[in-house]
Amino acid sequence: MGRRASSEQLSPYSFVVFPFLKTSGVISIGGIDFRSTDDTASLSPDQAVHVSEIARMLFLQDDYRVKSASYATVPYVDLENQRPLLTGLERLQAIVAYCYAAPHEIFGHPFLHYEDASLAVFSPSKVSIHTVRPEHHTEPIAPLQPVEADQFGFVQGYSGLYNFKHHFCVVSGSRVYPPVPEIVLNISQNLAADFGQWSRGYSHYQLLLASIERPSSVTLDRVFTAMKWFNAANSRTCNEESAIVYLAIALETILGLPEGKGVTERFTDAVSLLLGRTPRLDIWADQFYGARSDVVHRGQTNRVRFVASDSKNKGGPQYRSLLSYGQQVFRFCVESVLFGAKLAQGSGLAEKLVTNQERFTEVCSILNDKSSSPTEKFQRISPLADAADRFRHISESGLEIGAMIGCARAVAQAVLECTGSLESNLREALDKLARTDRTDVYSALDALRGLHEIGQHSSVVVEQPNGPLAVTLRLTDVIWSYTFWHYFSEKQRRESGQQE
C-alpha cells in the first residue's frame, strides 16, 4: 500500500476551509482573513487554482456540491509536526463553533451544531495513489479524472486534517462530505455579517477572538479545554445522555472544580459566586448532576428534563431540557471568567503577587537556560526588570543580599557576552562586577556602585530601552537601591577601623 502522504510539499501555502459556513465578504478571525471560495481575485494564480480545486471537492450529500464555502490562505501546515500553528487553528475553530452554538432565547436550542462549523486543512503535497484510488472491493460509478503516479506510487494532491481528528488524502476530482450523514445549510448564516456583528456588539466574543492571538495562559488553556467539551456536547453525534456528561466536564473545567465529593454543592457555589444567587439554580444543579451520575454509573438516565420545583425533595412539572439550561450557564461562566481575567490582567494583579526576590531568582534561571539565545534571554528578562523597578519601594522582608549580588553579577556577565560595542567605562564597570569574587560582598557592592554611577549618565536607556544593556542597567539599579545602605555601612565600618 505505501504511505498515505509524502513529506514533500508542493506549495508554500495551506488552505483552511469551513466547508459548510458561507460568507458574503472578507472577515478577519484571530488575525486570519476568511473569504468566500468565489473570491480568488487577491490570490496568486497558483493559489487561485488550489482554492478552485478544493471548492469543487466540497459536497453536502450525494451529488449536491456546496456552492460556496469560507476559506483562508495560511503558511504551509505540516499536519504531522507543526503543533503550535495547528493549536491556533484548533482554537479558532473552537471559538467559531462555540459562537454559532448560541442558544435560542426562548427554546434554548443551539443555532448551529458543532459539525456545521467543521474545519478542514488542505496542504498541497504528494499522496498515495492507493489511498485516493482504492481498488479492493470498490467500483467507480462515474469516469474518474486521470491521475499520474510517480515511480513510488504518489500523485499530486492534498494531505488534509478534518476537525483536527481525521487525516485524509484527496486529489482533484475527489469529494469531501460532512463528518455526519446529514447537515442542513442554514439560510441566514453569514460568517462576515455574523462575526462582524458579534465583534462589535458582544464584548464576550471580542475577548474570545482577541485570545486567539494572545500567548497561552493557565486561564486561557482552561477556557479552551472547557470549550472543547462544550462543543463535543453540541455534536450531532451526541445523544442527550452523553451530552450531559460532556457538558458536566465542560462546566467543572471552566469553574476549576477540584476532584472529590460534594461536586454539586461546589458547582452551585461557584456558579452563584459568578452569576449571583439565582432562585432554583441549586435545584437545577442537583438534578443535572443527578442525571450525570446516572449516565456515568448506570449508563443511562430517565431524568433529562428539569423538574420545576422550589425544593430538592418535592416533585413538580417537567419543563425544559436540563441540557439547555446547562449550555446557557456554561456561556455565562465563560463570559465571567474571561472578564475576570481581563480585569486581573489590566490591574497587573499577577505581578503584584510576585516578590522582587522571586524576580531576581527567575532572572538567574533564565540566564542559565541553555536552550535560549542571549537575545531571547534578555527579551524574557526585560519585563522582570521593569516590574522590579516599579515595585522597588515596596517593603519586602525576604530579600537576600547574596542572591541579589549573584543576579547582578550574572546579568553583567551575560550582557558582556552578547553586546559587541560598549563605551569603555561601561565595559570596565560591567567587567569589574562580573569578575568579583563570590565571597567578597563588599567588592561586589563597590563594583555595583561604580556601574550605577556610570549608568546614571548613559543615554542607552533612552535610546534603546529594551536592549540588553538598558535592561541590565535597570536591573542593577534596582539591586543597588536595595543594597546601597549595606555598602555605605560597611564602608564606614572599615574606615572607622582604619582610623583607630
Higher-confidence residue of 112 and 316: namely 112
The pLDDT of 352-363, averaged and rounded, is 95
Task: List Cα–Cα distances, 343 to 199, 212, 270, 271, in angstroms.
Answer: 19, 18, 18, 19
pLDDT value of residue 485: 93
pLDDT value of residue 6: 60
CA distance 446 to 438: 13
3-state secondary structure at position 476: helix
What percent of the chain is predicted at pLDDT more than 70? 95
The pLDDT of 170-191, averaged and rounded, is 94
What DSSP state is assigned to residue 104? P
Contact 144, 171 (CB under 8 A): no
What DSSP state is assigned to residue 115? G
CB half-sphere exposure, 491, CA atoms < 13 A: 11
pLDDT value of residue 148: 86
pLDDT value of residue 460: 64
pLDDT tens per residue across span 320-355: 899 999 999 999 899 888 888 888 888 888 899 999
| Owner of C-alpha cell 478544493 | 54
The C-alpha torsion from 439 through 444 and 446 to 448, rounded to 10°, is -160
Question: Does residue 2 register a pLDDT over 50?
Answer: no
pLDDT value of residue 127: 92
Q: φ, ψ for residue 394 (rounded to 5)?
A: -80, 130
pLDDT tens per residue across span 440-455: 899 999 999 999 998 8
| Structure confidence at residue 8 as a pLDDT band (50, 70, 90) | low
CA distance 438 to 430: 15
What DSSP state is assigned to residue 215? P
Residue-averaged pLDDT of the chain: 89
| Structure confidence at residue 278 as a pLDDT band (50, 70, 90) | confident
pLDDT value of residue 231: 96
3-state helix, strand, coil in the chain (%, to 5): 50, 15, 35
47: which residues sit within 8 A by CB, 6+ positions away?
11, 13, 40, 73
| Structure confidence at residue 271 as a pLDDT band (50, 70, 90) | confident
Question: Does residue 1 register a pLDDT over 50?
Answer: no
Contact 176, 120 (CB under 8 A): yes
pLDDT value of residue 499: 56
pLDDT value of residue 105: 80
Which is it for strands 70-75 and 120-128: parallel, antiparallel or unpaired? unpaired
| Structure confidence at residue 9 as a pLDDT band (50, 70, 90) | low
The pLDDT of 278-286, averaged and rounded, is 87
Enumerate the β-bridge partners of residue 146: none
pLDDT tens per residue across span 474-495: 999 999 999 999 999 998 998 8
CA distance 22 to 189: 7
Nearest to 223 by CA among 186, 255, 181: 255
Q: Which residues of 328-343 are buried (b: 16+ CB within 10 A; e: fewer)?
A: ebbbebbbbbbeebbe
The pLDDT of 98-125, averaged and rounded, is 92
Q: Which residues of 246-275 are buried (b: 16+ CB within 10 A; e: fewer)?
A: bbbbbbbbbbeeeeeeebbebbbbbbeebe
Q: Tell me how far the alpha carbon of residue 49 is from its chain's centroid.
A: 32
Contact 306, 315 (CB under 8 A): no
Question: Does residue 7 register a pLDDT over 60?
Answer: no
Question: Does residue 3 register a pLDDT over 60?
Answer: no
pLDDT value of residue 259: 75
**DSSP string spanning 193-242?**
HHHHHHHHH-HHHHHHHHHTTSPP-HHHHHHHHHHHHHHHHT-TT--HHH
pLDDT value of residue 53: 96
pLDDT value of residue 119: 97
Contact 357, 399 (CB under 8 A): yes
**DSSP string spanning 342-391?**
HHHHHHTHHHHTS-HHHHHHHHHHHHT-TTS-HHHHHHHHHHHHHHHHHT
CA distance 217 to 340: 14
CB half-sphere exposure, 265, CA atoms < 13 A: 3
Higher-confidence residue of 345 and 83: namely 345
The pLDDT of 409-432, averaged and rounded, is 87
pLDDT tens per residue across span 208-231: 888 877 777 888 899 999 999 999
3-state secondary structure at position 273: helix
Contact 51, 40 (CB under 8 A): yes
C-alpha torsion sign, points 32, 38, 44, 48:
positive
Higher-confidence residue of 292 and 398: namely 292
